[in-house]
Chain A
Amino acid sequence: MHELGITENILNITLDKANEGQATKILKINLVIGELSGFVADCIQFYFDTLSKDTIAQGAALHFETVPVELRCRSCSAVFRPRDTLWSCPECGSQGAEIFKGRELYIDSVEVE
């Protein structure tokens, strides 16, 4: 539901970068999105197609690289994929791991001409 504002940010950031690089057309935007982030890729693409009309980003493809969740144990620092809803550590069994990866939402790069 909150993808519209996010998509506006994506468009503005990429237009700025493309202008800095004196590009005439944005072909592709490479985004990195964490598995735990609450953003829906299809939804971002849908808004992007509308918002980018009549800009140099019109028709650009959005490529999403999904980052799987990885947790880090607060006791023994082991990094692991969650296996249960309590996020218990496979090494030492303690609970209360912190999120190491999987919350990302950033623009990695823009392909232009």
Chain B
Amino acid sequence: MKKIEVVQNVLEANETIANRNQQLLDKHKVFVINVMSAPGAGKTSVILQTLRTLKDKMNIGVIEGDVASTVDAEKVQNEAKAVVQINTRNMPESCSLMAVMIESALKDMPLDNLDLVLIENLGNLICPAEFTLGEHRRVLIASLPEGDDKPIKYPLIFVDADAVIINKMDLLPHVDFDIAAFRGSVSGLNPDAKVFQISCKTGKGVEEWCSWVLDQAKATVAKQ
């Protein structure tokens, strides 16, 4: 018997492709946000609101990830400059987008004509935390009906988020969601995360979130 030292990260293949994606995006001066949440928290609604608010200031593309269907791509296609739908149903994994899927989607995007790409990940709080895609920022959306204990139950996805959006704020009078407790849990795990309270239904708070996106995009592109 012989022992061979390996010491190799199993996720290295994904990370190599993610780095390649980011180099390609940087070359074209495209800022990319990975939008993550549980199913139904409002990823598509936040993306739609972002498109409507920023479309006069930026050319925006959307990559939609879903297990099946083109429902989300159809919703955003009137507002976005370019939309690519990824369906993971026939792929070896169907719980998260992975760098190789984004690499292929970017080939169908007019990168020279885009300033911002929003990637809508699959609805899941576990798997997307493990797979980087080549994005510049990670955003986690939590919504009031999910409860305020999600950062405690799924810490990893909160630890890596650059911003956390609390969505469906219009439901606050109807649900028992302790905003202070939620914000306290988030800042415990990740003091650098910027937290936004918004309602896609009323539009409240959307402006503040969108000006963060604009600022982050400018700062990132300026650095290149």
Contacts and interface: CB of A to CB of B under 8 A. Distances in A.
Interface stretch (B110-118, B132-140, B186-194): B186-194
Contact of B6 (A2, A17, A113): A17
A18 interface: yes
Interface in A2-32: 2, 4-6, 8-10, 13-14, 17-18, 20-21, 23, 27, 31
A27 B187 CA distance: 46
A103 B4 contact: no
A61 interface: no
B2 A1 contact: no
A2 B130 contact: yes
A9 B6 CA distance: 13
B10 A105 contact: yes
B4 A38 contact: no
Contacts of A86: 184-185, 188-189
Interface residues of A, number: 39
Main secondary structure of the interface of A (DSSP, over half): mixed
Given A5-B92, A5-B98, A36-B156, A106 B10 contact: yes
Interface residues of B, number: 37
B191 A85 contact: no
Contact of A109 (B4, B10, B98, B187): B4
A74 B127 contact: no
Interface in B82-106: 92-96, 98
B130 A37 contact: yes
25 contacts: A1-B93, A5-B98, A9-B11, A10-B10, A14-B6, A17-B6, A23-B2, A37-B130, A38-B127, A39-B130, A74-B191, A85-B185, A85-B188, A86-B185, A88-B188, A96-B187, A106-B7, A106-B9, A106-B10, A109-B3, A109-B5, A109-B7, A110-B6, A111-B3, A112-B3
Interface of B: 1-13, 92-96, 98, 126-127, 129-131, 151-152, 155-156, 159, 184-185, 187-192
